[in-house]
Structure 1
Amino acid sequence: MVGTGVFTSLGYQIIDIKSTFVLLMLWLVGGIAALCGALTYAELASRLPRSGGEYNFLSQLYHPSLGFVSGWVSLTVGFAAPTALAAMTFAAYLDSSVSHLVSVNRMTAALALVAVVTYVHGRNHKASGGLQNWFTVLKVLLIVGFVTLVGTTVEAPQTVNLLPTDGDGTLLLSSAFAISLIYVNYAYTGWNSATYIAGEVENPSKSVPLVLIGGTAVVILLYLALNAAFLYAVPMAELEGRLEIGVIVAQQTFGSTGALVMGGVLSLLLVSTVSAMLMAGPRVLQVMGEDFRLFRRLALRNASGVPRTAVYTQGGLTILFIVTSTFESVLVFSGFILGLSSLATVLGVFVLRYRCGVDRQAGSYRTWLFPLPPLIYSAIMIWTLSFIAFNRPQEAAIAAIIIGLGFISYLLTEKYSAIERKPVLKQ
């Protein structure tokens, strides 16, 4: 989860929102939505423990066509676009931190990162898991250290209001808040990643819910602390519209030498994000290859059990996005289409319970405080997506075209591929 969004979004949010309370509420509301989604996904993952995430859930809960479209979205946009954004941000931070020493070609740096990580994840589980674990631990420790240093060394701190002031209520209900939530929701993208590799996890019925809920709760705290530190250290006017928020804050707080070190460190954090996406995304492609003969090559595994073809395919698509797309358009578009997919999946828990009732077996997971989590998540997501559809119709239209092409591809694939039906819902 922790990566591109939290290190880039604040500059765009400040353009329309000048209240520190409302800005922090963005991250809290987005976190609550992600946590409610995680609570719901945990039940789905516990009862439908197969890799593939939304592809698996939607196929079994609704119809294989919806699962296919979700997989199609993952194939064309869902993982490649966020991975590209993370790699582009890595390159931007790296360039900003060392620009006074050496010139860095941002596109070359982003492409090199994707190529190296793709190769590592295509080797074996040990190399793949080891890379991800080490960079995740390093990421959390460095964020905590960064927030602590900023909080204790800033000489001219800015006022950060933790309570609302005049006009904040209007801002909370404005279109600016709703549209900014798409950036925040994007920053929380990844809270559901454990469901994409459920088939490769020991005891997924217990492990996956723990990972989903625990990981999301930790990230909410990290995001609130990090954004509070950004707002505490630098005037909002200096952050407005800027991409490299972390480097700007480090420059103001630690000087040019500190900015060099922290900029390099923050760029390294994004390696973990690129790694996570290139580890989870190919599992969706792999499961599609298992179900649809037309994509069977994506299901092929090497001697270590890694779906190498799917990993390399994901890496290739990511490189294509880096070469052809701009940052903001990819962020809004991918955030919108991923929001639609997760919304349909969260609502699927009601379908699951209607068709099969509640799983009361010992050790099974049931969504806490049901039905509040899926209802809260759905309400926040519908509100956000509606504002985006009205205010950013171009991105919404492109998303609709991608989904339409997905249904067309399903019909063509059904015609030329034999589907291997998988076991259905637990009774």
Structure 2
Amino acid sequence: METGKNGLKRSMGVMTGISVVIGTVVGSGIFFKQGQVLETAGGTTAGLAAWIVGGLITLAGGLTLSEVGSRIPETGGIYIYMKKLYGEFVGFLTGWTQVAIYAPAIIASVSAYFAELFADFFNISTHWVPTIGILTLLLITAMNSLDNRIAGAFQVTTTTIKLIPIFALVIFGIFFGKADALGQTVHHMTATTSGNFGLAILATLFAYDGWATLANLGGELKNPRRNLPRAIIGGLLIVILVYVGVTYGIYRAVPANQIVSLDNEVPYTVARQAFGELGGKLLAIGILVSMAGTLNGKMLAFPRMVYAMANEGVLPSYLKKTNRAQAPITALWTTAVLAAILIVMSGADWLSDMAVFVIWLFYAATFFGVFILRLRDKKAAVKPNELLFQVPLYPIMPIVAIGGALFVLINTLIASFSMVLISFIFVAIGIPVYYYYKRKRH
């Protein structure tokens, strides 16, 4: 079995990579964001366009990051990319933000959502939701502590299963829906919305988030220069088709105003129309499988970044320990413990929203990195490796990706200045941590 220089096993193929992308992106957002996007857009035509534009911006980002990842095929994702591009200090703040805020908050949110749906499906008291969430997280973490082929196989399986209810929604809506998918207008919008197409795109970009976590597994992919771009691009194309297909199917099955009023109940309404009460239950099971796959994908990817930082000597050395299966065992369980704490605390959803804003800040800098890397190669007269992926339509595609990132940042700044301020405070806390470990190393 091939082992990378980082000590982790290169055993994941392109299909596992695609499954990680799909699994970490397609969770609850596609099912529960329909009403919000439609209401914000103001109509079905604009709503569907928002999902398409959001997908294209995300794809531009994926293509751009694929070239960066192809040039820097190492474990650690954008932490390593930012370090190679902008130096150790910026790289550390990137990793710190993900380790301390982004990863634990998002893992906690997915676990909590899973627990809520699980409790509702089995008529369990909501009092047990935190316990269910933590137990689910511990089970997924335990599985990831074994050979990474086991977690990879689970990812492929759950990704396949989660597509079943999605295709059912699409097929029923398209062939049996009676509403007009395009041209409907939402007549009863809240006071905070006014048919703002830009904010509707922003909502879809949050739903598309998570695709870049595959970059954390660069050191465990077979032939990462070739397979990382293939997995990111292939996975994102499938995600875009899924999101647009589900949206079109729902618009065909349920009138626009009813979608807004039903909010989170939209998928169940469509399933009941198609298959009765049994359909609603089957869809709930499909969503539970979807969330389990999403949680597994994040636990598969995020701890690798913690491991990479510890390996660099900028986090406690115990975090770089691996077990017999060559899994980053201490990084895995430390991430799980931080997420478990957030499950118990209130405001985990708010923390995840804050984390998404911060990660897009680093996305923008990473996208710009493709210009830096090409300039470096040009100055050094380095010819592109035959296995090196190069983003198509350069420089247009990276510019679109950077523009999409700036769009997220500016709109979030306008919509929630206090959250942005707190985000930067959390990032700033990493500064003394960085200098502590820098002094310790020297």
TM-score, length of structure 1 as denominator length? 0.88
Alignment of 1:139-158 (within 5 A): 139-154=162-177, 157-158=178-179
Does structure 2 conserve the Cα–Cα contact (< 8 Å) formed by 1:183 and 1:332? no
Query: Does the C-alpha gap of structure 1 residues 178 and 330 become closer, same or farther in structure 2, counting only changes over 3 Å?
Result: farther
Cα deviation code 1:364-396 (max 9, x no counterpart): 211111111110011122122112101211221
Query: CA 1:131–1:140 in 2, change beyond 3 Å: closer, same or farther?
Result: same
- 1:300 counterpart (318, 321, 324): 321
Residue 379 of structure 2 corresponds to residue 355 of structure 1: no
- Within the candidate set 62, 67, 79, 2:86 is matched to 62
Q: Please identify, of 317-326 and 271-280, the stretch whose mean Cα deviation from structure 2 is larger.
A: 317-326
Deviations 1:262-288 (A, max 9, x none): 112212111100000000000000000
In 2, the alpha carbon distance for the partners of 1:328 and 1:187 equals 13
C-alpha deviation, 1:64, in angstroms: 0.9
Counterpart position of 2:288: 267
Question: 1:229 maps to what in 2?
Answer: 249
Partner residue of 1:343?
364
Q: Distance in 2 between matches of 1:143 and 1:304?
A: 34
- 1:329 Cα deviation after fit: 2.0
Which of 152, 158, 164 is the equivalent residue of 1:135? 158
Give 5+ residue unaligned stretches, structure 2.
1-24, 188-192
- 1:213 Cα deviation (Å)? 0.9
Mean CA deviation greater in 320-329 or 60-69: 320-329
Please say if 1:289 is aligned against 2:310.
Answer: yes
Aligned to 1:218: 238
Query: Is 2:333 the partner of 1:309?
Result: no
Contact 1:250/1:259 (<8 A) preserved:
yes
The aligned residue for residue 423 of structure 1 is none
Question: Which residue of structure 2 aligns with residue 28 of structure 1?
Answer: 52
In structure 2, relative to structure 1, the CA distance for the partners of 1:98 and 1:12 (3 Å cut) is farther
How far residue 165 of structure 1 moved from its aligned partner, in angstroms, is 8.4
| Maintained 8 Å contact 1:143/1:222 | yes
Pairing 1:102-251 to 2, within 5 Å after superposition: 103=125, 105-154=128-177, 157-161=178-182, 176-240=196-260, 242-251=263-272
Change (3 A) 1:378 1:294: closer
- Comparing 337-346 with 273-282, greater Cα deviation is found at 337-346
Counterpart secondary structure, 2:211: coil
In structure 2, the CA distance between the partners of 1:403 and 1:244, relative to structure 1 (3 Å rule), is farther
* Secondary structure in 1 matching 2:326: coil
Mapped to 1, the partners of 2:185 and 2:254 lie a distance apart of: 20
| Residue identity (%) | 26
- Bigger Cα displacement from structure 2, 123-132 vs 358-367: 358-367
Deviation at 1:399, TM superposition (A): 1.2
Say which SS state the counterpart of residue 200 (structure 1) adopts.
coil
TM-score after normalising by structure 2:
0.85
* Counterparts of 1:388 and 1:175, CA distance in 2: 17
In the alignment, the residues of structure 1 paired with residue 282 and residue 217 of structure 2 have an alpha-carbon distance, to the nearest angstrom, of: 35
- Name the structure 2 match of 1:76: 100
What letter is aligned with 2:99? L
Distance in 2 between residues matched to 1:372 and 1:261, nearest whole Å:
44
Contact 1:90 1:110 in 2 (8 A): yes
Q: Select 2:430's aligned residue among 401, 406, 411.
A: 406
Is contact 2:174–2:248 with CA below 8 Å preserved after alignment? no
Equivalent residue, structure 1, for 2:298: 277
For the residues of structure 2 that align with 1:244 and 1:139, how far apart are their CA atoms?
18
Q: 1:70 to 1:24 in 2, by over 3 A?
A: same
SS at match of 1:52: coil
Distance 1:164 1:366 in 2: 41
Contact 1:95–1:106 (8 Å) recurs in 2: yes
2:94/2:362 contact within 8 Å kept? yes
**2:413 equivalent in structure 1:** 389
Shift of 1:245: 3.9
Residue 64 of structure 2 corresponds to 40
Distance in structure 1 (CA, Å) of the matches to 2:160 and 2:223: 23
CA contact under 8 A between 1:96 and 1:263: conserved in structure 2?
A: no
Label 1:114 to 1:10 Cα distance change in 2 as closer, same or farther (>3 A): same
Unaligned runs of 5+ in 1: 168-172, 419-427
**Cα distance between partner residues in 2 of 1:198 and 1:249:** 39
Q: 1:190 to 1:217 in 2, by over 3 A?
A: same
**Equivalents in 2 of 1:279, 1:60: separation in Å?**
23
How many residues are treated as equivalent by the alignment?
408
Q: How large is the Cα RMSD of the aligned pairs? A: 2.5
Q: Give the direction of change, closer, same or farther, for the CA distance of 1:87–1:166 in structure 2 (3 Å limit).
A: closer
Structure 1 distance, partners of 2:352, 2:37, is 13
* Native 8 Å contact 1:246 1:263 kept in 2: no
- 362-371 or 317-326: which moved more? 317-326
Task: Give the aligned partner of residue 19 of structure 2.
Answer: none
Distance 1:38 1:94, change over 3 A: same
Deviations 1:144-176 (A, max 9, x none): 23322343444xx32211x79899xxxxx9894
Secondary structure of 2:29 counterpart = helix
Return the offset for 1:225.
0.6
Q: In 1, are the aligned partners of 2:309 and 2:315 still within 8 Å (CA)?
A: no
